[in-house]
Amino acid sequence: MKYKLTIAIFSFLIFSYSASSQRDFREGFIVKKNDTIYGLVDYRGDKKSTNICTFKKDKNSKIKEYEPDQITGYGFIGSKAYVSKYANEGLNVKPYFLEYLVKGFLSIYYFRDDKDRYFVEKEGELIQELRIIKDLSVGYNQYKLKKEYIGILKYLTKECTDLHPQIESSKLDHKSLIDIAKKYNDCVCKECIIFVKPKTWISIKATVFSGFSSSKMDFIINANNRYALTELDNYEETSIFPEKIFNLDNTFPVSTSFPIGLEANIILPRLNEKISLQTGLNFVKHYYQLYSEIDGYTTNFGIHAYYLKNPVALRYTYPRYKLKPFIESGIYNNFVVRTNSRLLQIVEQTDFISVSHDTKVNTYKYQLSFFAGGGFQYEITKRNSLFLGARYERGKNLLKGNLTNLSILVGITF
């Protein structure tokens, strides 16, 4: 299990690195001095967006990369906008692309290096960083956190003192700073707000689906060549039931079923709009049957299993076109909510006499498995998509043996 977990983590790291290198050009613009040039801009995460702007005039044009000291700013139509500003990096000062949260008489900027950093600029004033600092004056080897940004914001908004109670209780995050800047700009000049970043903190989309599932599993045979999880471990050997009765194949034929489920796709746009968390609940039932008849020894081994499956996975979606491909990798928490099982064994001693032994099989209620998959989403509307995907699953089964599942899923996302 540890080996499989290591392989799964290593595979996902490779997958994440490959995913992060994919380009995602969207309609946007760059600003050179007072000249705005429209075209396609590569949509990257917060950290990469601060250092490089990748631009091309149209889909057939050559790609150009711009650093913050080469252009005034850039942005995406109906989405993010960036401006080139100087900010400190330790003891050095260098230009960055700062993202506009609010652009107006009072502007709020954001960028990310090793942490979230925020800046404020008032018309006619120098740009200042909004920080929480360590106050070392409290004693030897001690400090307390001081909200330096509160004093800066109160000074810059001195014309609107009604805002000060809100500033006193504010947090150093997107939501609080955007709200304060909007209210201040409304207070001093209602026409001064040029841009406010859309408030998308978290995006959740649900998918309902059904499909087709094939499942194959085996079980463990102990040292005496007997099935290891039944009451037969305590059975006393007799001439009527010699060991040959247990010499059956320990792999069930493939079982097919039709799963149904509801899953949620959770995206944190501030971190990465391409990588998301996938989770939910799936229900599936399988019937496994193994029948063997050898030299008068008959074995009929059957299990009805009803599963409630909880996937937890990371998904990468390439969002550029209406047909959006995705790949995913994660785990299944498999809960066996109900089982009906039977191990029936018959020995024919003569043409007229047979002896049987009917045994209930012990099963386990929880198993962990790993899966990987991929598929497509076709965008019908801005909110709704058709879904087609496949998943390959490996892990342990309810008999402590090995499980292999392959599922084809279709559904709708809303």
pLDDT of residue 227: 45
Which single residue is written with the structure tokens 């279709």? 410
For residue 325, pLDDT beyond 50: yes
**pLDDT tier at 358, thresholds 50, 70, 90:** low
First to last CA, the chain: 36
Mean pLDDT of 324-335: 96
**Residue 180, number of CB atoms within 10 A of its CB:** 22
pLDDT of residue 11: 53
**pLDDT tier at 169, thresholds 50, 70, 90:** very high
**pLDDT tier at 22, thresholds 50, 70, 90:** low
Q: Are 207 and 413 in contact (CB under 8 A)?
A: yes
**Residue 81, number of CB atoms within 10 A of its CB:** 21
pLDDT of residue 337: 95
Mean pLDDT of 53-70: 94
pLDDT of residue 238: 36
In whole angstroms, how far apart are CA 48 and each of 21, 102, 114, 165, 214? 11, 20, 12, 36, 43
Which tokens belong to 261? 């489920």
Proportion of the chain above pLDDT 90, given as a percent: 53
* Nearest-angstrom CA–CA distance, 152 and 156: 6
Q: Are 280 and 310 in contact (CB under 8 A)?
A: yes
pTM of the model: 0.68
- Please report the domains of the chain, with CATH numbers, ordered by start residue: 24-196 (no CATH), 203-413 (2.40.160.20)
Kindly state the DSSP code that residue 251 receives in the 8-state scheme: B
